[in-house]
Amino acid sequence: MTLTAADFPVELSPGTWDVLRGDFPLLIDGKFVSSASGAAGVTHDPATGAALADFALGDAVDVDLAVRAAHKAFGGPWSKLSHFERARLLRKLADLFEANTQVLAELEVIDNGMPMWLAGLTARNNAELFHYYAGWAERIEGTTTTPPAHVLAAGEALTYTLREPVGVVGQIVPWNVPLSMACLKLAPALAAGCTVVLKPAEETPLSAVVLGRLIMEAGFPEGVVNIVNGDGATAGAALVKHPLVSKISFTGSTEVGKLIVRECADDLKKVSLELGGKSPVIVFPDADMAKAVPGVAMATFFLQGQNCMAGTRIFVHADIYDELLEGMAAFAGSMKIGHGLHADTMIGPLISAKQKARVMSFVEEAKAGPARVVAGGKAPEGPGHFVEPTIVADTTPDMRVVREEIFGPVMAVQRFEGDDLDAIAAMANDSDFGLSGSVWTQDLSTAHKMAARVRSGHVSVNTHGAVGANIPFGGFKQSGWGREFGREGLDLYLETKAVTVAL
């Protein structure tokens, strides 16, 4: 690639240029290699269409090599390290992340399109995540008990439990927050003592290659982490089917999640899934409007709406319906759309022309009525894949814009009346998904009662989607299986073994 400074609206840091001028290989058994077939993909800046880099495109052969390397490392040097040594490596990696946040953030912006302020935040959060799971690595412990008397006489036996790593883990991540998705799966798996084959999304291969370099620089033994960029249908599918993989952790579409479950049923691999969402945002008449207007708008528009926990079904009490709509329409209209490298950009491009076309199909359908588009509704001319933050008002529960995950900056607003919390919750829960949600009110009793009634894995009050390293995150219903982050995120990668000793 012959990229120059003219390809970007803001000068990149020298470290990012060093990365862009280098290769984007696979990481297998501690070595950076081309794909066995020699195949390469090209990734583009979604804000400009400029080709950024060729990257090694792995397939089933590379996945097999990677899984075998992970299997060897699991039975070899990695299993000989103590919990404390694993924690030290994770802390070293956290420090390296901190030292490289600018480069990592710039790569995320140009490969994914997200605004710089968000990329910087997520890069720093990833460092924190590795520190957090280093702490858990030091604290993995079992319990002791005595077996019931009908098994062995009282005083004659002891049972204790061991927490053991699941084994080789396949981790498949999407393109919407590529580096964070990789880190939130890697950190607990490594803390638990698993070895990993990571398959990043084919749309955003760049930051994972730098992640691989930092992992090797931190001193992780060869084969503990292997990174195979490649397509879902080839590399992803091969990882899911591989007999030496004990567990698949997947984040992405509900459709592919279901396919993975079916594949894993054959050999009963463990599976955890973080899938789609269509999260409710419920605004009561006593909400603090100064906070609700920007807060509810950002529940949808954060990350251009390409966010599984986006709050996209907005239920607003009739008493404040017009006021909130008007405020959010003004907020949406004020959001700066542009290249993520500009410091004031609030809305970057969507990931691809395909995603833009998909999102606009929902908008065009909404424009046909009977709902009203009260903000946005247009897609600025290319080459970037931009869509205006769009508010569709007066929607009804049966509309496609209300029922389906759009994964774009499109909000569907419905009006409700009265104060029957069960009826309001029934409206909010009328969805196949249950990932996130938020309640906006100044009444503590209403807040907690609604939080209890919303059928989602994460509910916020007077904010939306406040997640972090120590807050379990995952879905009810078709939003997934299991919880990532927190102690539950670690448990996804541990087996419990009970040992009973006749004394």
Ligand X SMILES: NC(=O)C1=CN([C@@H]2O[C@H](COP(=O)(O)OP(=O)(O)OC[C@H]3O[C@@H](n4cnc5c(N)ncnc54)[C@H](O)[C@@H]3O)[C@@H](O)[C@H]2O)C=CC1
Question: Applying CB under 6 A, which residues contact ligand BAL?
Answer: 43-44, 46, 111, 203-204, 351-352
Three-state secondary structure readout of 395-431: CCCCCHHHHCCCCCCEEEEEEECCCCHHHHHHHHCCC
The interface partner of residue 233, options being ligand BAL, ligand X, none and the CB cut-off 5 to 8 Å by kind, is ligand X
The interface partner of residue 270, options being ligand BAL, ligand X, none and the CB cut-off 5 to 8 Å by kind, is none
> Residue of minimal CB distance from ligand BAL?
44
Q: Scan for tokens 């982050």, then name that residue.
A: 485
Which one of 222, 274, 405, 484 is the catalytic residue?
274
Q: How far is the CB of 352 from ligand BAL (least distance, A)?
A: 5
The interface partner of residue 236, options being ligand BAL, ligand X, none and the CB cut-off 5 to 8 Å by kind, is ligand X
Specify whether the CB–CB gap between 182 and 168 falls below 8 A.
no
Alpha-carbon torsion (269, 278, 129, 103), positive or negative: positive
Q: How far is the CB of 398 from ligand X (least distance, A)?
A: 20
Q: How far is the CB of 266 from ligand BAL (least distance, A)?
A: 32
Q: How far is the CB of 274 from ligand X (least distance, A)?
A: 6
CA angle 224, 229, 230 (to 5 degrees): 130
At residue 437, the 3 state secondary structure works out as: coil
Q: What Rg, from alpha-carbon coordinates, does the chain have?
A: 24
The interface partner of residue 188, options being ligand BAL, ligand X, none and the CB cut-off 5 to 8 Å by kind, is none
Q: Write the DSSP assignment of 298-341 as a string of letters.
A: HHHHGGGG--TT-EEEEEEEGGGHHHHHHHHHHHHHHSPBS-TT
Q: Write the DSSP assignment of 135-197 as a string of letters.
A: HHHHT----EE---TTTS-TTSEEEEEEEEE--EEEEE--SSSHHHHHHHHHHHHHHHT-EEE
Residue type, 373: V
Rounded CA separation 388/168 (Å): 43
Q: Which is nearer to ligand X, 41 or 327 (CB)?
A: 41
Site string for ligand X, 264-303 (x = CB under 6 A): ----------xxx---------------------------
Cα dihedral 322, 325, 329, 331, rounded to 10, equals 110
Rounded CA separation 470/255 (Å): 28
Asked if 337 touches ligand X (CB under 6 A), the answer is: no
| Residue (of 297, 362, 301, 373) closest to 337 by Cα position | 301
- Which residues, numbered 372-431, are part of the site for ligand X (CB under 6 A)? 405, 407
Q: Which is nearer to ligand X, 164 or 404 (CB)?
A: 404
Specify whether the CB–CB gap between 193 and 200 falls below 8 A.
no
Specify whether the CB–CB gap between 389 and 332 falls below 8 A.
yes
Please give the size of the binding site for ligand X, defined by CB under 6 A: 25
Q: Scan for tokens 């424009």, then name that residue.
A: 367
Asked if 62 touches ligand X (CB under 6 A), the answer is: no
Cα–Cα distances in angstroms (integers) from residue 410 to residues 160, 301, 332, in the given order: 52, 7, 11
- Which residues, numbered 159-218, are part of the site for ligand X (CB under 6 A)? 172-176, 199, 201-202
Q: How far is the CB of 239 from ligand BAL (least distance, A)?
A: 21
The interface partner of residue 43, options being ligand X, ligand BAL, none and the CB cut-off 5 to 8 Å by kind, is ligand BAL
> Residue of minimal CB distance from ligand X?
232
The interface partner of residue 46, options being ligand X, ligand BAL, none and the CB cut-off 5 to 8 Å by kind, is ligand BAL
Q: How far is the CB of 313 from ligand BAL (least distance, A)?
A: 28
List, edge to edge, every strand of the sheet that includes 144-145: 144-145, 157-165, 494-502
Specify whether the CB–CB gap between 475 and 277 falls below 8 A.
yes
Q: How far is the CB of 276 from ligand BAL (least distance, A)?
A: 20
| Residue 274: active-site member | yes
Alpha-helix residue ranges (DSSP H) falling in 76-115: 77-80, 83-99, 101-112
Q: How far is the CB of 245 from ligand X (least distance, A)?
A: 12
Asked if 240 touches ligand X (CB under 6 A), the answer is: yes
Binding segment for ligand X (CB under 6 A), chosen from 54-62, 83-91, 236-244, 454-462, is: 236-244
Q: Which is nearer to ligand BAL, 354 or 497 (CB)?
A: 354
Binding segment for ligand X (CB under 6 A), chosen from 31-39, 64-72, 249-257, 444-452, is: 249-257
Binding segment for ligand X (CB under 6 A), chosen from 9-17, 66-74, 246-254, 481-489, is: 246-254
The interface partner of residue 352, options being ligand BAL, ligand X, none and the CB cut-off 5 to 8 Å by kind, is ligand BAL
Which residues are marked as active site? 274
Binding site for ligand X (CB under 6 A): 172-176, 199, 201-202, 231-233, 236-237, 240, 251-253, 256, 259, 274-276, 308, 405, 407
